[in-house]
Amino acid sequence: MPGGRKSGRNTRRTLATAIESEKRPHFNPDDTTEPTAGEVVGVDGISGNKKHCSKPNISTCSSQFSIIKTTDHFVDKTKIIEVLFGDSEYVLITRPRRFGKSTMMNMVKEFVEKKVYTRGDKVGQEILRSTENDRAFPEMNLRLFEDGNLEISKWDEFSRHRGKYPTIYLDLQSIHGYNFLQILLSFRRTIIDAFSSHSYLLHCEDLWSTEEDKKTFIKYLYPTSIDQMIVSSSEAVEALLLSYIEGSLPFLVQVLHKHYSHGIYLFIDEYDAPINNILFENKDLCEKVNNLLTIVFKNLMKRQDSFIARALITGISYMAFQE
């Protein structure tokens, strides 16, 4: 009978539930053992007693590949480096926040970046393979990709591209402000960071054909003239900052290309962050910032394209350049 079959199913379900409940672990209140440092308390799935295990190594606040790689939940995505060396010279990756874009960009940058000493001497491949220099120069991550378990280490052109290119990195997600002057000052800080990562060029005397070129580099690295004008009218300071921003990055591209005799790898993280941060607050300010970014990107990727080998850009929205 239908009723009988239904009753049988209910009985079997009740029996199965009872059996499952007997299998479930029960917390043992008599176990008062305190966990040691670096341990967390769980429940043993068989005995139901408390058990102690090592605290998992997880990084949720860093986008540095060198840090992420050492965590317990590291997922090898280095294969994307090989994909990015395809036909496209300019690659734009648009994904929502917290999608891992910055970590991916840092990974690619660490892979291709030519390592140099503080005085500007280039680090050779034989030094990259030396374990002694891991301790001497830990900030360089010299052997970061030498792990044979990484997918990228199996790439046929691994040695050809590993640590071979000059790079420029711009993190635009840190650019913010309540007015145009504050945004320009914040942008200046990003540019100073880019120049600071190549301050070793000041020690390369053969690089500077004229003393004026070296003074120009110092002016972009230490823009003290702008600081001296902060007390002036905002219009005058804005004009000076605009001139600084528009001219600095193309100059850095040209100097790096001259020093290395090779195309630059350009990395721009969260290119649309300066606009997204003020998108629903001030329409006029958004238009000013949009015009600023358009000028900056055109100066870099259109007028300096002969000096740039590849560019990797991340953001949330799609971008396109129009003359």
Q: What is the CATH number of the domain that holds 220?
A: 3.40.50
In the predicted model, what is the mean pLDDT of residues 253-269?
A: 94
| pLDDT in the model for residue 197 | 93
Radius of gyration of the chain (CA): 27
Share in percent of the chain as helix, strand, coil (round to 5): 50, 10, 40
- Same-domain status, 51 and 70: no
Which is higher by pLDDT, 321 or 77? 77
The reply to whether 154 and 120 lie within a common domain is yes
Q: How far is CA 305 from the centre of its chain?
A: 23
Residue 10, domain member (yes or no): no
DSSP string, 150-208: SGGGG-TTHHHHTT-B-EEEEEGGG---SSHHHHHHHHHHHHHHHHHTTGGGGG-GGG-
Q: Under a CB-based contact definition with an 8 Å cutoff, are residues 49 and 65 in contact?
A: no
Model pTM? 0.74
121 and 270 fall within a common domain: yes
> Do 274 and 166 sit in the same domain of this protein?
yes
Count of domains forming the chain:
2
Question: Would you list the DSSP string of 9-38?
Answer: HHHHHHHHHHHHHHHS----TT--PPPPTT
The arithmetic mean of pLDDT across residues 286-291, rounded, is 93
Same-domain check for residues 130 and 166:
yes
Instruction: Tell me the per-residue pLDDT of 206-232, one tens digit each, with 9 for 90 and over.
Output: 899 899 999 999 999 998 876 666 656
- Predicted confidence (pLDDT) at residue 90 exceeds the cutoff of 50: yes
Which of 55, 77, 104 is the last residue in one of the domains? 55
**What does the pLDDT read at residue 142?**
59
Residue 8 lies in a domain: no
pLDDT for position 42: 44
Q: Domain limits at 31?
A: 23-55
Distance CA 216, CA 214 (A): 5
- 106-128 residue pLDDT tens: 999 999 998 876 555 555 544 44
pLDDT band at 129 (very low <50, low <70, confident <90, very high): very low
Do 39 and 74 lie in one domain? The reply is no
Tell which wins on pLDDT, 168 or 7: 168
